[in-house]
Amino acid sequence: MYIWTGIDVDEQLAGIRERVRQLEKEEGVKHSNLTLPFHISLKISFEMDEARAPEVVGTLETYYRKQKPFEIPVSGIEYHTAITWIRMRENETLDRIHDGLNELLQTRFGVPLHEYDRDYLFHTTLCLDEDAALVRRFYEKLKDVPLPAVLRAERFLIGASPAGALGTYRVVKEILL
């Protein structure tokens, strides 16, 4: 089983979410990126023995309940070879939460640090695909969409997937601060 965790920003990005859904239909995207609410991932998803998954979810919930709501400055929409995303500005609170998650999961459950966790870029995925031309088209059609200057972190999410494949993750726990 694979576990994922992030901050729910879906309602705050409702306008662009609807635009992404429209583009997915126009482009004939087969595997939507929108099986999860729009979110800011806090750690690369990781594999965990299914028997230990409830304990991991409970530990993450306890960790998140110690946090307080905070603001996340938005940088803008960016494009890289396989992804178009909304990038978040550097943020001490996000860094602290990310580092704390890595330490907690490594110490308590032996979850190794993923290479991307070493220099994590906080973002909300708009389009992720192996087809670079498709990802570029999404970027061109989304790059000028107005975004909020800041997002508010008030709800954490924990998701799971049997195999870790895109489109198979489902939210299993919501933690409202």
Q: Please write the tens of the pLDDT for every residue from 39-83.
A: 999 999 999 999 999 999 999 999 999 999 999 999 999 998 889
CA distances from 46 to 38, 42, 159 (A): 19, 12, 11
End-to-end CA distance of the chain: 27
Instruction: Look at residue 119 in the predicted model and tell me its pLDDT.
Output: 87
> Which secondary-structure segment (H or E) carries 4?
strand 2-8
* Dihedral pair phi/psi, residue 94, rounded to 5°: -60, -45
The C-alpha angle with vertex 154 and arms to 6 and 21, in degrees rounded to 5, equals 60
pLDDT digits over 105-156, tens only?
Answer: 999 999 999 998 888 999 999 998 888 999 999 999 999 999 999 999 999 9
Residue 33, pLDDT above cutoff 70: no
Going from the N-terminus, what domains does the chain have, and what CATH number goes with each? 2-35+55-176 (3.90.1140.10)
Task: Report the pLDDT value the prediction gives residue 81, as an integer from 0 to 100.
Answer: 84
pLDDT of residue 175: 98
Residue 162 confidence class, pLDDT cut points 50, 70, 90: very high
Strand 150-153 relative to strand 70-80: parallel, antiparallel, unpaired?
antiparallel
Name the 3-class secondary structure at 24: helix
Q: What does the CA dihedral 89, 47, 106, 151 come to, rounded to 10 degrees?
A: 20
d(CA 34, CA 38): 7
CA–CA gap between residue 159 and residue 84 (Å, rounded)? 22
CA distances from 72 to 3, 7, 28, 32, 123 (A): 23, 10, 32, 26, 11
Helix/strand/coil for 43: strand
Tokens, residue 177: 């601060």
